[in-house]
Amino acid sequence: MNIYYNEYEKGTNLLFKFDVFFDSLSFFMADIAVDVNNLRRTFGEFVAVDNINLQVKKGEIFGFLGPNGSGKSTTIRMLCGLLMPTSGGGTVGGFDVLKQPDAIKQRIGYMSQKFSLYNELTVEENLNFFAGIYGVPKQKRKERKEWALEMAELQDRRRSITATLAGGVKQRLALGCAILHEPPIIFLDEPTSGVDPISRRNFWSLIYGLSRQGTTIFITTHYMDEADYCDRLALIYRGKLIAEGTPGELKHSHMRHSILEIETDQLVPTLTLLNQQNIEAAIFGSALHATVDHAEQRIPELRELIAKRGISVTRIEQIVPSLEDVFVSLIEVA
């Protein structure tokens, strides 16, 4: 758009200007990997997904966060062409969710919440099976299988029965199977749920690697600490989108209250004292987190109040809220 504006100012050929304008317009549209418009799904009377609108840019790691039962899987299944919306729709990779579900299925990777591996098959047999399902060309199969085995660090276990693999290893194999056909967009439904913290971290570095190569990642999680790994987030609660933005934006603009971190030599009596003052507080490690309005004014007041009880205050400071704090604050008004 800038180019168009500059050329306009210079008063150059009108056709050229239109060309640049339409080029940048189509470039903008081509920049969107997932476009969701008023997407809604009911089961009988129950509204599982309630008029959701969102856009995911190409190459972005988009985190879809919400507690259990909030509508994450239902949304993903509609976007992957596996479940019909009740109303609304959208596009995935430029294909229409309602009219072109089969085109979408060929161009995405989908890792369902249950990983959908065949436990009784070996690692290699699972890879063969999914290579067939996704129509990986015969001449490319060997190369893609080796790539997946290497990524999942399973080269030495290709003949192991899948059921015998640890959770974190199975998860990497499931990711490998889901992206054998090199899809440009990947949907991952709680891929890290029930997996140990080290495997979760390793898994995220695989995701980063894919994203750096230009793959778009749509990932759901109910672990708030994973939200910080995403470029952009949407928070869903009871089927409704309640916030959207980068992790930093959500933390700064959606907190109605400030969080103070308070350290004293007597934590529990301090907690009791704060609760007596109707201040919401909880123990976090060796400190307390208190939720207050007007932090600057409250800090000296609290310092004095606590000191008066003969408790020595080591530290009181305002901290950046966690996404969990943001979520709690948002659902209070939802």
Q: Which residue has the tokens 């919400």?
A: 66
Q: Which of residues 26-65 bind ligand ADP (CB under 6 A)?
A: 43, 46, 48
Residue 68's binding partner among Mg ion, ligand ADP, none (Cβ under 5 to 8 angstroms by kind) is ligand ADP
The minimum distance between CB 72 and ligand ADP, in angstroms, equals 3
Residue 71's binding partner among Mg ion, ligand ADP, none (Cβ under 5 to 8 angstroms by kind) is ligand ADP
Q: Can you tell me whether residue 311 is helix, strand or coil? A: coil
- Residue 70 found at the interface with Mg ion (CB under 5 A): no
Cα separation, 198 vs 181, whole angstroms: 27
Residue 284's binding partner among Mg ion, ligand ADP, none (Cβ under 5 to 8 angstroms by kind) is none
The minimum distance between CB 195 and ligand ADP, in angstroms, equals 17
Region for residue 238 given its phi and psi (left: phi exceeds 0; alpha: psi -120 to 50; beta: otherwise): left
Cα separation, 37 vs 21, whole angstroms: 25
Cα separation, 263 vs 265, whole angstroms: 7
The minimum distance between CB 189 and Mg ion, in angstroms, equals 6
- Establish how many alpha carbons lie within 13 A of residue 44's alpha carbon, considering only the half-sphere containing its beta carbon: 1
- Residue 73 found at the interface with Mg ion (CB under 5 A): yes
* Number of residues in contact with ligand ADP under rule CB under 6 A: 11
Q: Can you tell me whether residue 55 is helix, strand or coil? A: strand
Residues 236 and 70: beta-carbon distance below 8 Å: yes
Residue nearest to Mg ion (CB): 73
The minimum distance between CB 67 and ligand ADP, in angstroms, equals 7
Residues 233 and 246: beta-carbon distance below 8 Å: yes
Stretch that binds ligand ADP, among 66-74, 161-169, 261-269, 312-320 (CB under 6 A): 66-74
Whether the CA torsion 73, 74, 78, 84 is positive or negative: it is positive
The minimum distance between CB 249 and ligand ADP, in angstroms, equals 23
The minimum distance between CB 111 and ligand ADP, in angstroms, equals 13
Helix/strand/coil percentages in the chain, nearest 5: 45, 25, 30
- Residue 66 found at the interface with ligand ADP (CB under 6 A): yes
Q: Which of residues 67-96 bind ligand ADP (CB under 6 A)?
A: 68-74
Binding site for ligand ADP (CB under 6 A): 43, 46, 48, 66, 68-74
- List interacting residues with Mg ion (CB under 5 A): 72-73
